[in-house]
Protein backbone atom coordinates (compact mmCIF):
# COMPACT_ATOMS: atom_id res chain seq x y z
CA UNK A 1 0.00 0.00 0.00
CA UNK A 2 1.51 3.30 -1.07
CA UNK A 3 0.94 6.37 1.11
CA UNK A 4 0.21 9.99 0.24
CA UNK A 5 1.84 13.05 1.74
CA UNK A 6 1.35 16.81 1.66
CA UNK A 7 4.48 18.92 1.18
CA UNK A 8 4.40 22.65 1.91
CA UNK A 9 7.19 25.04 0.96
CA UNK A 10 7.63 28.77 1.54
CA UNK A 11 10.79 30.65 0.60
CA UNK A 12 12.19 33.74 -1.12
CA UNK A 13 11.36 33.48 -4.82
CA UNK A 14 14.06 32.82 -7.41
CA UNK A 15 14.55 30.71 -10.53
CA UNK A 16 14.74 26.95 -10.28
CA UNK A 17 12.77 26.22 -7.11
CA UNK A 18 10.23 23.92 -8.77
CA UNK A 19 12.92 22.02 -10.63
CA UNK A 20 14.99 21.57 -7.48
CA UNK A 21 12.03 20.42 -5.40
CA UNK A 22 10.83 18.05 -8.15
CA UNK A 23 14.18 16.40 -8.62
CA UNK A 24 14.75 16.08 -4.87
CA UNK A 25 11.38 14.40 -4.50
CA UNK A 26 12.11 12.12 -7.41
CA UNK A 27 15.39 11.02 -5.90
CA UNK A 28 13.43 10.09 -2.77
CA UNK A 29 10.90 8.06 -4.75
CA UNK A 30 8.19 10.57 -3.97
CA UNK A 31 6.06 11.47 -6.98
CA UNK A 32 3.93 14.56 -7.42
CA UNK A 33 0.23 13.75 -7.81
CA UNK A 34 -0.94 17.31 -7.66
CA UNK A 35 0.89 20.55 -7.01
CA UNK A 36 0.35 24.27 -7.06
CA UNK A 37 2.66 27.17 -6.45
CA UNK A 38 2.60 30.93 -6.48
CA UNK A 39 5.24 33.63 -6.49
CA UNK A 40 4.10 36.90 -4.99
CA UNK A 41 5.42 39.51 -7.43
CA UNK A 42 5.32 42.19 -4.74
CA UNK A 43 7.31 40.73 -1.88
CA UNK A 44 9.14 38.14 -4.02
CA UNK A 45 8.02 35.24 -1.92
CA UNK A 46 7.31 31.75 -3.21
CA UNK A 47 4.67 29.29 -1.95
CA UNK A 48 4.17 25.68 -2.94
CA UNK A 49 1.88 22.83 -1.93
CA UNK A 50 2.22 19.37 -3.41
CA UNK A 51 0.41 16.10 -2.89
CA UNK A 52 2.92 13.27 -3.16
CA UNK A 53 2.76 9.52 -3.40
CA UNK A 54 5.50 7.31 -2.04
CA UNK A 55 6.22 4.40 -4.34
CA UNK A 56 7.49 2.08 -1.64
CA UNK A 57 6.29 1.06 1.81
CA UNK A 58 6.48 3.75 4.45
CA UNK A 59 8.45 6.96 4.06
CA UNK A 60 11.11 7.53 6.71
CA UNK A 61 10.22 11.15 7.38
CA UNK A 62 13.38 11.88 9.39
CA UNK A 63 15.66 10.53 6.74
CA UNK A 64 13.77 12.33 4.00
CA UNK A 65 13.84 15.58 5.96
CA UNK A 66 17.60 15.50 6.33
CA UNK A 67 18.02 14.79 2.64
CA UNK A 68 15.57 17.50 1.57
CA UNK A 69 17.20 20.04 3.90
CA UNK A 70 20.61 19.28 2.46
CA UNK A 71 19.53 19.36 -1.18
CA UNK A 72 17.52 22.58 -0.91
CA UNK A 73 19.63 24.41 1.68
CA UNK A 74 20.51 27.32 -0.59
CA UNK A 75 16.84 28.22 -1.08
CA UNK A 76 16.26 29.00 2.62
CA UNK A 77 12.99 27.13 2.67
CA UNK A 78 10.44 27.03 5.41
CA UNK A 79 8.93 23.64 4.65
CA UNK A 80 7.02 20.70 6.12
CA UNK A 81 5.71 17.29 5.13
CA UNK A 82 2.85 15.37 6.66
CA UNK A 83 0.74 12.34 5.81
CA UNK A 84 -2.18 13.40 3.63
CA UNK A 85 -4.62 11.50 5.79
CA UNK A 86 -3.57 13.14 9.05
CA UNK A 87 -6.61 14.34 10.98
CA UNK A 88 -5.75 17.39 13.09
CA UNK A 89 -7.14 17.86 16.60
CA UNK A 90 -9.27 20.92 16.96
CA UNK A 91 -10.80 22.78 19.88
CA UNK A 92 -14.01 24.63 19.08
CA UNK A 93 -14.66 27.77 21.14
CA UNK A 94 -18.27 28.88 21.26
CA UNK A 95 -20.51 31.23 23.23
CA UNK A 96 -24.30 31.18 22.93
CA UNK A 97 -24.93 31.05 19.16
CA UNK A 98 -24.69 27.40 18.18
CA UNK A 99 -25.27 27.34 14.39
CA UNK A 100 -21.58 27.21 13.44
CA UNK A 101 -20.86 24.60 16.09
CA UNK A 102 -23.74 22.40 14.95
CA UNK A 103 -22.69 22.76 11.36
CA UNK A 104 -19.08 21.81 12.11
CA UNK A 105 -20.14 18.76 14.12
CA UNK A 106 -22.41 17.65 11.30
CA UNK A 107 -19.63 18.01 8.74
CA UNK A 108 -17.19 16.06 10.88
CA UNK A 109 -19.75 13.29 11.48
CA UNK A 110 -20.52 12.96 7.80
CA UNK A 111 -16.90 12.90 6.74
CA UNK A 112 -16.79 16.28 4.99
CA UNK A 113 -14.27 17.74 7.44
CA UNK A 114 -11.50 15.24 8.23
CA UNK A 115 -10.59 16.40 11.75
CA UNK A 116 -11.10 15.37 15.37
CA UNK A 117 -13.13 17.69 17.53
CA UNK A 118 -11.06 17.12 20.65
CA UNK A 119 -13.14 19.43 22.78
CA UNK A 120 -15.66 22.25 22.93
CA UNK A 121 -14.72 25.14 25.19
CA UNK A 122 -17.42 27.62 26.10
CA UNK A 123 -18.04 30.51 28.46
CA UNK A 124 -21.64 29.28 28.67
CA UNK A 125 -23.28 25.93 29.35
CA UNK A 126 -25.85 26.15 26.54
CA UNK A 127 -24.14 23.58 24.32
CA UNK A 128 -23.08 21.08 26.96
CA UNK A 129 -25.98 18.73 26.22
CA UNK A 130 -25.21 18.74 22.50
CA UNK A 131 -21.55 18.03 23.21
CA UNK A 132 -22.49 15.15 25.46
CA UNK A 133 -24.81 13.64 22.87
CA UNK A 134 -21.96 13.68 20.36
CA UNK A 135 -19.55 12.43 23.04
CA UNK A 136 -17.29 15.45 22.64
CA UNK A 137 -15.52 16.60 25.85
CA UNK A 138 -17.08 19.88 26.96
CA UNK A 139 -15.26 22.44 29.11
CA UNK A 140 -17.14 25.27 30.71
CA UNK A 141 -14.67 28.12 31.15
CA UNK A 142 -16.57 31.24 32.26
CA UNK A 143 -14.91 34.52 31.37
CA UNK A 144 -15.50 37.86 33.08
CA UNK A 145 -13.64 41.08 33.71
CA UNK A 146 -11.82 39.73 36.73
CA UNK A 147 -10.86 36.18 35.77
CA UNK A 148 -9.47 36.70 32.25
CA UNK A 149 -5.94 35.59 33.11
CA UNK A 150 -7.13 32.59 35.07
CA UNK A 151 -9.54 31.58 32.30
CA UNK A 152 -6.80 31.77 29.69
CA UNK A 153 -4.51 29.69 31.87
CA UNK A 154 -7.21 27.07 32.22
CA UNK A 155 -7.87 27.13 28.49
CA UNK A 156 -4.21 26.74 27.61
CA UNK A 157 -3.97 23.78 29.95
CA UNK A 158 -6.82 22.03 28.12
CA UNK A 159 -5.31 22.77 24.71
CA UNK A 160 -1.99 21.41 25.88
CA UNK A 161 -3.32 18.23 27.35
CA UNK A 162 -5.45 17.44 24.33
CA UNK A 163 -2.59 18.11 21.93
CA UNK A 164 -4.65 20.60 19.92
CA UNK A 165 -3.45 21.46 16.40
CA UNK A 166 -5.72 24.41 15.81
CA UNK A 167 -8.61 26.36 17.30
CA UNK A 168 -11.93 27.37 15.74
CA UNK A 169 -13.78 30.36 17.12
CA UNK A 170 -17.32 29.40 16.12
CA UNK A 171 -18.98 32.65 17.19
CA UNK A 172 -16.97 32.95 20.39
CA UNK A 173 -17.82 36.35 21.79
CA UNK A 174 -14.68 36.88 23.89
CA UNK A 175 -11.53 38.68 22.79
CA UNK A 176 -8.38 36.60 23.21
CA UNK A 177 -5.32 38.13 24.86
CA UNK A 178 -2.54 39.54 22.69
CA UNK A 179 -0.20 36.84 23.93
CA UNK A 180 -2.67 34.09 23.03
CA UNK A 181 -3.09 35.58 19.52
CA UNK A 182 0.68 35.66 19.07
CA UNK A 183 1.38 32.19 20.45
CA UNK A 184 -1.25 30.58 18.23
CA UNK A 185 -0.84 32.79 15.15
CA UNK A 186 -2.01 30.90 12.08
CA UNK A 187 -3.72 28.30 14.26
CA UNK A 188 -6.89 30.15 15.25
CA UNK A 189 -9.69 30.60 12.70
CA UNK A 190 -12.47 33.05 13.48
CA UNK A 191 -15.75 33.68 11.71
CA UNK A 192 -16.72 37.33 11.58
CA UNK A 193 -20.30 38.03 10.68
CA UNK A 194 -19.65 40.72 8.11
CA UNK A 195 -17.92 41.28 4.82
CA UNK A 196 -14.64 42.57 6.26
CA UNK A 197 -13.20 45.19 6.27
CA UNK A 198 -16.78 46.56 6.44
CA UNK A 199 -18.46 46.49 9.81
CA UNK A 200 -15.70 45.46 12.15
CA UNK A 201 -16.42 45.02 15.83
CA UNK A 202 -19.77 44.44 17.47
CA UNK A 203 -23.24 44.07 15.94
CA UNK A 204 -22.26 43.98 12.25
CA UNK A 205 -25.79 43.08 11.16
CA UNK A 206 -27.09 46.21 12.80
CA UNK A 207 -24.35 48.21 11.10
CA UNK A 208 -25.23 46.62 7.74
CA UNK A 209 -28.91 47.37 8.29
CA UNK A 210 -28.21 50.98 9.18
CA UNK A 211 -26.00 51.45 6.15
CA UNK A 212 -28.59 49.88 3.86
CA UNK A 213 -26.20 47.55 2.04
CA UNK A 214 -27.70 45.40 -0.69
CA UNK A 215 -25.34 42.46 -0.15
CA UNK A 216 -24.58 40.77 3.17
CA UNK A 217 -21.32 39.00 3.92
CA UNK A 218 -19.32 36.80 6.27
CA UNK A 219 -15.55 36.46 6.62
CA UNK A 220 -13.39 33.66 7.99
CA UNK A 221 -9.89 34.77 8.98
CA UNK A 222 -6.90 33.92 11.09
CA UNK A 223 -6.93 35.73 14.40
CA UNK A 224 -4.28 38.36 14.98
CA UNK A 225 -3.92 40.74 17.87
CA UNK A 226 -5.64 43.45 15.79
CA UNK A 227 -9.35 42.74 16.24
CA UNK A 228 -11.00 41.52 13.00
CA UNK A 229 -7.86 42.38 11.03
CA UNK A 230 -6.13 39.02 10.61
CA UNK A 231 -5.48 37.43 7.19
CA UNK A 232 -8.73 36.62 5.36
CA UNK A 233 -9.23 32.97 4.39
CA UNK A 234 -12.67 33.03 2.84
CA UNK A 235 -15.70 35.27 2.34
CA UNK A 236 -19.27 34.70 1.23
CA UNK A 237 -22.11 36.99 0.32
CA UNK A 238 -25.85 36.97 -0.20
CA UNK A 239 -28.13 39.57 -1.80
CA UNK A 240 -30.59 41.34 0.55
CA UNK A 241 -33.13 44.13 0.12
CA UNK A 242 -34.64 47.04 2.02
CA UNK A 243 -37.39 44.93 3.56
CA UNK A 244 -34.98 42.87 5.65
CA UNK A 245 -34.94 43.69 9.37
CA UNK A 246 -31.78 43.32 11.47
CA UNK A 247 -33.29 40.00 12.67
CA UNK A 248 -33.72 38.85 9.05
CA UNK A 249 -30.15 39.84 8.24
CA UNK A 250 -28.96 37.86 11.23
CA UNK A 251 -30.83 34.75 10.10
CA UNK A 252 -29.55 35.03 6.54
CA UNK A 253 -26.11 35.71 7.93
CA UNK A 254 -26.08 32.48 9.91
CA UNK A 255 -25.98 30.40 6.75
CA UNK A 256 -23.18 32.57 5.39
CA UNK A 257 -21.24 32.16 8.63
CA UNK A 258 -21.60 28.38 8.78
CA UNK A 259 -20.65 27.84 5.15
CA UNK A 260 -17.77 30.30 5.15
CA UNK A 261 -16.29 28.93 8.36
CA UNK A 262 -16.62 25.34 7.15
CA UNK A 263 -14.88 26.19 3.88
CA UNK A 264 -12.03 27.98 5.65
CA UNK A 265 -11.59 25.09 8.07
CA UNK A 266 -11.52 22.65 5.17
CA UNK A 267 -8.79 24.66 3.40
CA UNK A 268 -6.83 24.78 6.65
CA UNK A 269 -6.97 21.08 7.47
CA UNK A 270 -6.12 20.17 3.89
CA UNK A 271 -3.08 22.41 4.44
CA UNK A 272 -3.97 24.65 1.50
CA UNK A 273 -3.56 27.99 3.27
CA UNK A 274 -0.33 29.97 3.61
CA UNK A 275 -0.09 33.24 5.50
CA UNK A 276 1.55 35.86 3.30
CA UNK A 277 2.02 38.86 5.62
CA UNK A 278 -1.44 40.31 6.12
CA UNK A 279 -2.99 38.14 3.41
CA UNK A 280 -3.39 34.46 2.56
CA UNK A 281 -2.38 32.34 -0.40
CA UNK A 282 -4.84 29.47 -0.88
CA UNK A 283 -4.35 26.58 -3.29
CA UNK A 284 -7.95 25.49 -3.69
Of residues 102, 174, 177, 225, which one binds a second copy by CB under 8 A? 102
By CB under 8 A, the residues from 44 to 63 that bind a second copy are 53, 55
Is residue 34 a contact residue for a second copy (CB under 8 A)?
Answer: yes
From the list 36-44, 66-74, 151-159, 166-174, the region that binds a second copy by CB under 8 A is 36-44
Using CB atoms within 10 Å of the CB of residue 24, give its burial: 0 to 12 exposed, 13 to 18 middle, 19+ buried. middle
- The residue (of 160 and 241) whose beta carbon lies closer to a second copy is 241
Using the rule CB under 8 A, is 254 a contact of a second copy?
yes
Is residue 231 near a second copy by the rule CB under 8 A?
A: yes
Asked whether position 201 contacts a second copy by CB under 8 A, the answer is no
Candidate segments 67-75, 135-143, 162-170, 194-202, binder of a second copy by CB under 8 A: 194-202
228 catalytic per annotation: yes
Q: Give every CB contact of residue 233 below 8 A, 6+ residues apart in sequence.
A: 189, 220, 221, 222, 264, 267, 268, 273, 280, 282
204 alpha carbon, distance to own chain's centre: 22
Comparison of 24 and 177: residue with beta carbon closer to a second copy: 24
Among 128, 154, 255, 270, binds a second copy (CB under 8 A): 255
Our CB check for a second copy shows the closer of 155 and 235 to be: 235
32 touching a second copy, by CB under 8 A = yes
280 strand-pairing partners: 275
Of 132, 205, 202, 208, which Cα lies nearest the Cα of 174?
Answer: 202
Taking the C-alpha atoms of 249, 251, 252 and 253 in order, what is their torsion angle to the nearest 10 degrees? 80
Backbone angles phi, psi at 178, to 5 degrees: -55, -45
Identified catalytic residue from 13, 34, 165, 228: 228
Q: Does 15 bind a second copy (CB under 8 A)?
A: yes
**Interface pick for a second copy out of 77, 94, 151, 196 (rule CB under 8 A):** 196
Give the span between the Cα atoms of 121 and 35, in whole angstroms. Answer: 36
Give the nearest distance from C-beta 283 to a second copy in angstroms. Answer: 9
Could you list the residues that contact a second copy (CB under 8 A)? 15-16, 18-19, 22-23, 25-26, 31-41, 53, 55, 98-99, 102, 106, 110, 112, 133, 195-199, 210-215, 217, 231-237, 239, 241-243, 245, 251, 254-255, 259, 276, 278-282, 284
Query: Which of the residues are catalytic?
Result: 228
Amino acid sequence: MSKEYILRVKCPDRYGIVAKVSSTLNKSNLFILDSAHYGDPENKYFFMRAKLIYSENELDINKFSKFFDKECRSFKMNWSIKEAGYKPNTAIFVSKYGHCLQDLIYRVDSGILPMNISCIISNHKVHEKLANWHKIPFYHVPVNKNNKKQAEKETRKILNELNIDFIILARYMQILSDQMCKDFYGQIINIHHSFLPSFKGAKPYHQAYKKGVKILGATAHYVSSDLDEGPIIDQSVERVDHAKTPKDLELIGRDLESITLARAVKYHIERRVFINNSKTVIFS
